Amino acid sequence: MKKILITGCFGQIGSELTMRLRRDYGNDQVIATDIRRIEGSPLLEHGPFEILDVMDQRAMHRLAEKYQVDTLIHLAALLSAVAEAKPQLAWQLNMGGLMNALEVARELNLKFFTPSSIGCFGPETPADHTPQDTIQRPTTMYGVTKVAGELLADYYYTKFGVDTRGVRFPGLISHKTLPGGGTTDYAVDIYYEAIKRNRYTSYIAADTYMDMMYMPDAIEAIVRLLEADPARLIHRNAFNITAMSFSPAEIAASIQKYLPDFKMDYQVDPVRQKIAESWPNSLDARCAKDEWDFAPAYDLDTMTQDMLEKLSKKLGSTTA
């Protein structure tokens, strides 16, 4: 992996991954692309940026060729709650964009990464210690595109020899870029509201468990998997990974360790609650550990401490 093209660079993952890869591989080695330009973003200052609509396969091919990249990281996609509101668009973008990206990877012989998600599972999946290889019958359009995406990426590996790799991300928490319309977003919003108002109204019920991960661990996982020795990989698309599993009540309790007056109440959103209930409580990530040494560093309390510190600086408060 020497020269990398990223789609969806201004998203929650892309904005941090682009910076990390530029630090590791050099600013000019990482070509950031997105459907729109966000003026003032540090991504525009430190290396190449190009406008790219992932629905335009020829444009993607042209850019990959122009910069002579050897790796394609395809991140542009709709998240679960937005996909439920616009299922047709979600299918078109999530599947169409992925198919285009895989085709470009096949034509130019690129290494390939795209994320799957805990959303690839459904109500019939074993909810606790969810195995790597298990029932995948999701009941959301997001999940349908994620399962189909996993199969398609594996197909490109077995049929065409494209070096495709992926992980099933849990909810990702970060203090830099907000997620755009997912079910797990409450676990990000709660920290912002804790700093701003010392209280939060959760749209997920108190005792609903989902897997989560702090963004530094997620970024590290992508880099590690892309650099992993292919001879060790038994699986490819996509690996279960997780750093923690908690409920809204537990994240609130973790915040209260640092902000004792923090208050939480609940106004459950039936749409996102139903999605959350269809997803696992906690994944088994042993295959990722065995096959490419996945090893997250943050647990709930260390993440909470870091989030509150970073956000109080960012939001200009001295609460934490």
Active site residues: 142
Residue 190 CB, nearest approach to ligand SER (Å) = 14
Nearer to ligand SER, 57 or 80 (CB): 80
Region binding ligand SER by CB under 6 A among candidate stretches 47-55, 58-66, 113-121, 192-200: 113-121
Tell me the number of residues near ligand SER by CB under 6 A.
11
CB-nearest residue to ligand SER: 182
Decide: is 80 part of the binding site for ligand SER (CB under 6 A).
Answer: yes
Decide: is 119 part of the binding site for ligand SER (CB under 6 A).
Answer: yes
Residue 73 CB, nearest approach to ligand SER (Å) = 16
Nearer to ligand SER, 33 or 184 (CB): 184
Decide: is 136 part of the binding site for ligand SER (CB under 6 A).
Answer: no
Q: What CA–CA distance (Å, rounded) separates 152 from 114?
A: 11
The DSSP secondary-structure symbol of 183 reads S
- The token pair at 277 is 């209930």
Q: How does DSSP assign 205-254, residue by residue?
A: -TT--EEEEEHHHHHHHHHHHHHS-GGG-S--TTEE--SEEE-HHHHHHH
- The token pair at 83 is 């996909």
Residue 119 CB, nearest approach to ligand SER (Å) = 5
Which residue has 């003032």 as its token pair? 40
Nearer to ligand SER, 21 or 275 (CB): 275
Let me know: does 212 contact 250? Beta carbons within 8 Å.
no
Instruction: State whether residue 104 is helix, strand or coil.
Output: helix
Give CA separation, 314 vs 184, 308, 311, 318, in Å: 22, 10, 5, 10
Using CA atoms of 305, 265, 281, 185 in order, give the dihedral in degrees to the nearest 10.
-70
Complete edge-to-edge strand list for the sheet that includes strand 167-169: 116-117, 167-169, 239-240
Residue 79 CB, nearest approach to ligand SER (Å) = 4
CA proximity to 87, closest of 99, 97, 76, 79? 79
**According to CB under 6 A, which residues from 166 to 195 bind ligand SER?**
169, 171, 182-184
Nearer to ligand SER, 9 or 118 (CB): 118
Residue 80 CB, nearest approach to ligand SER (Å) = 3
Let me know: does 79 contact 180? Beta carbons within 8 Å.
yes
Nearer to ligand SER, 110 or 215 (CB): 215
Region binding ligand SER by CB under 6 A among candidate stretches 96-104, 117-125, 129-137, 253-261: 117-125
Residue 117 CB, nearest approach to ligand SER (Å) = 3
Nearer to ligand SER, 110 or 251 (CB): 251
Bridge partners of residue 50, in order along the sequence: 33
Decide: is 248 part of the binding site for ligand SER (CB under 6 A).
Answer: no
Decide: is 79 part of the binding site for ligand SER (CB under 6 A).
Answer: yes
Q: What CA–CA distance (Å, rounded) separates 104 from 57?
A: 7
Tell me which residues touch ligand SER (CB under 6 A): 79-80, 117-119, 142, 169, 171, 182-184
